[in-house]
Structure 1
Amino acid sequence: MPDPLAATPVDLQRRPVLAVTCGEPAGIGPEVSIRAAWQLRTQIKSVLIGDAAFLAMIAADIDPQIRLVALSQQAFLNDGLPDFAVDQIAVIDCQLDAHVQPGVLDARNGRAVLRTLDIAIGGALQGNFDGMVTAPLQKSTINDAGVAFTGHTEYLAEKSVTAQVVMMLATDRTTPPLRVALATTHLALKDVAAAITFDSLSRTIAILHADLKSKFGLAQPRILVTGLNPHAGEGGYLGREEIDIISPVLEAAKANGIAVSGPYPADTLFQQKYLDEADCILAMYHDQGLPVLKYASFGHGINITLGLPFIRTSVDHGTALDLAAAGLGRADHGSMLAAMNTAAQMVRAGRSS
């Protein structure tokens, strides 16, 4: 199995260029973004996207040695990224619309947060960035700003005109590394069963298989799939989705050369004897698979969006407004480090494939 960390000498000489959106300004996103970008500056060329003056103030409080260099949006659009030195962190200035009080949400800044995503998406599609990493944002603030918003995953798909994406969370805190993908994302539980169709589940498995190969360097990914119902439907007594939809999808995927198996009861699948034989678990809905992963890795897991025309990773936690209100130095930037490192590994795996 190819090592996703492996890279040619040329790859090692050129640091992956990652756009880092700093998320909700009243939360811990700006702090963890700055800390991780500075810590990884010799391995990754991070480009922070946020209010340059606000980020500079935070950076100075974290460590006066941190050097942020601001770049206007217009300069970036006209000329792309200049060649910043290793001891400099670039910031594409995306000014906020209201003063920030740590821990206090302000809907006036909701649209500015979305603009940071638009800049990162545009730059990734144009090839200015090798990938993007997102700090947590507050969905309610964006909705309160008058923009219908359900989450990063759906927004990135819409803006990149991607018909279907797959949400996957991962951690290297387990042996082997645990990856959990989702057949559905941010849906009310009452809507999940209707969303699992033969076509949508088939596309999910195809995307998962393709990206595990191309972005993780796995020659033949092994995917284990949960059922939807308790006990995987108990032979139809607890639901027929496994018989009518999931099993036929898996048989069709196998016929296309995909190493997939199931459906397994979700309550017993997450055992070491099964995980040792899996490169990824595909769960049917958000709270079926993610509690297990977050229990194993909270604060050090990451979120990955598969199926996009660019690499995107994110932290596995929220805005932590309470920590932000308490002041700098209380937030753990481990998940941001993991998200940035994983994005860089995916870049290198793609270069070598």
Structure 2
Amino acid sequence: MAKPIALTSGEPAGIGPDITLKAWLRRNELKLPAFYWLGDAASLDRRAKTLGLDVRLAEVRPEDAGGTFAQALPVVATGQVATAQPGHPDDSSAGAAMASIRQAVGDVMAGRAGAVVTNPIAKNVLYRAGFRHPGHTEYLAELAATGTSTPQPVMMLWSPALAVVPVTIHVSLREALAQLSSDLIVTTARIAAAELKSHFGIARPRLAVSGLNPHAGEDGSLGTEDQTIVAPAVNRLRGEGLEIRGPLPADTMFHEAARRTYDCAICMYHDQALIPIKTLAFEDAVNVTLGLSFIRTSPDHGTAFDIAGTGKANPSSLIAALRLAAHMADARPVRRL
């Protein structure tokens, strides 16, 4: 039996509990991989009752989750009580969310779980509690650190229609321009290509690199960064044997015919990557952290406080994240799940 997936609680007041419960109820219909939820069983039970869902919970050890999954939703306790009501985070929220993430990473690094899937967190709630990372991605890199070595995390958004990787992530556009360098592009693309081979079953990944400026700079008339930063990175990577093209005008990279020519788009900043994939696959896109020593995926949406506990939350992105994590763990081709 494959190792179960460790699913974090996310923000207890958000829709993480809702979509967890809904995903488990569809386990047989969709042949979902076994997973266990890390958090406060009493809080999850309250949410199930609020939603009117008949879900049996079973508190277990991670190693027993696979045998329990068919009959009950396995819950692994973190020791943190979560008292927040739907839509209303409270003083217990940050501690509960952080404990769940730490324990999930510990489980997968110790071999008790096959992958980590993270439910959405509310970063503003964590910041008030002293959280010092821009987001999940950077925090997971710290947890994955060994000794003095901290991995370089790379964020990928994946869907059957499109996979994108932003070179700069959770920073302002001004800071993104300051951070962008040929070295950063090269490092990001190398990690993306390696993971497409090792965990996505793509023997020779095809990468398309966007330009930074409109029309990829129009030969320097609309900015020289594409000539001085992006093109040298692409040339270095091509010299290393990668199948890569660019810099390409970003406004013509994402139509259907263009998408068929590459496996992953490497983009220069956050919105350049995320706007097209959220337009094409808002309900089922998956956030994947590359470059870690373990597999991590996540739904590509937030906590949605406004609909938490109402029954309106759609579990599609979480379901896609669970399925993708299982495929990545087996290094099976995942372009069409």
**1:57 alignment counterpart:** 46
Q: 1:82 to 1:341 in 2, by over 3 A?
A: closer
CA shift for structure 1 position 60: 4.6
Give the C-alpha shift of residue 52 in structure 1. 1.2
Q: What's the TM-score once normalised by structure 1's chain length?
A: 0.87
* CA offset digits 1:93-124 (Å, max 9, x no partner): 12445521211122442122111100011111
Q: How many angstroms apart in 2 are the aligned matches of 1:60 and 1:45?
A: 23
Deviation (angstroms), 1:150: 1.4
**Aligned residues: CA RMSD:** 2.0
1:241-260 residue pairs with structure 2 within 5 A? 241-260=225-244
SS in 1 for 2:293: coil
Preserved CA contact (<8 Å) 1:142 1:149 = no
Aligned residues of 1:52 and 1:94 also touching (Cα < 8 A): no
Counterpart amino acid of residue 177 in structure 2:
A
Give the fraction of aligned pairs with identical amino acids, expressed as a percent. Answer: 39
- Give the corresponding residue for 2:223: 239
Change over 3 Å in CA distance of 1:35–1:64 after alignment to 2: closer
Secondary structure of the structure 2 residue equivalent to 1:298 = coil
After superposition, the C-alpha distances for 1:140-196 in whole angstroms (9 at most, x for unaligned) are 001111222311111111111243111111222xxxx31011111101111112212
Q: Is the 8 A contact 1:225 1:262 kept in 2?
A: yes
Query: C-alpha deviations, 1:24-61, integer Å up to 9, x for none?
Result: 11111111012213422654110101111111232355
Structure 2: which amino acid aligns with 1:68?
L
Write the distance in 2 (CA, Å) between the matches of 1:34 and 1:349.
27
The question of 1:84 aligning with 2:73 is answered no
Match of 1:169 among 151, 157, 163: 157
Specify whether residues 241 and 21 from structure 1 end up closer, same or farther in structure 2 by C-alpha distance, changes over 3 A only. same
CA distance in 2, matches of 1:83, 1:275: 38
1:39-97: CA deviations, max 9, x gaps? 226541101011111112323555665222114xxx66xxx546633222221112445
Corresponding residue number in structure 2 for 1:6: none
Letter in 2 for 1:137: I
- Which residue of structure 1 aligns with residue 263 of structure 2? 279
- How far is the alpha carbon of 1:16 from its aligned partner? 4.6
The answer to whether residue 18 in structure 2 is matched with residue 31 in structure 1 is yes
Amino acid aligned to 2:34: K
- AA aligned opposite 2:159: T
**Which residue of the partner structure matches residue 324 of structure 2?**
342
The two structures have a TM-score, normalised by structure 2, of 0.91
Letter of the aligned partner of 1:25 in structure 2?
P
Aligned 8 A contact 1:16 1:44 in 2: no
Provide the C-alpha distance between the structure 2 equivalents of 1:308 and 1:98, rounded to a whole number of angstroms: 29
The answer for the alignment partner of 2:213 in structure 1 is 229
Alignment gaps of 5+ in structure 2: none
The one-letter code sitting in structure 2 at the alignment partner of 1:144 is R
Cα distance, 1:349–1:70 mapped onto 2, change above 3 Å: same
Any idea what SS the aligned residue of 1:69 has? Answer: strand
Partner of 2:36: 47
- Count of matched residue pairs: 326
Distance 2:9 2:3 in 1: 18
Contact 2:207 2:243 (C-alpha < 8 Å) held by counterparts = yes
Which residue does the alignment assign to 1:69?
58
Q: CA deviation digits over 1:249-268, x for unaligned, max 9?
A: 11111111111110011112
Assess if the C-alpha contact under 8 Å between 1:16 and 1:344 holds in 2. Answer: no
SS at match of 1:349: coil
Mean CA deviation greater in 23-32 or 143-152 = 143-152
Query: Whole-Å Cα distance in 2 between the matches of residues 303 and 285 of structure 1?
Result: 16
Structure 2 distance, partners of 1:68, 1:188, is 42
Aligned partner of 1:121 in structure 2 is: 105
Q: 1:88 and 1:108, CA in 2 relative to 1: closer, same or farther beyond 3 A? A: closer
* Secondary structure in structure 1 of the residue aligned to 2:67: coil
Distance in 2 between the 1:311 and 1:338 partners? 14
Q: Residue 230 of structure 1 aligns to which amino acid in structure 2? A: P
Larger mean CA deviation between 132-141 and 106-115 belongs to: 106-115
Aligned match of 1:190 = 174
CA deviation string 1:299-325 (max 9, x = no partner): 22111111111111111111110101x
Amino acid at match of 1:19: A
Q: Do the aligned residues in 1 keep the contact of 2:157 with 2:277 (CA within 8 Å)?
A: yes
1:261-309: CA deviation from partner (whole Å, max 9, x where unpaired): 1001111211222111111111111111211110111122111111111
* Aligned CA distance change for structure 1 residues 293 and 62 (closer, same or farther; 3 Å): same
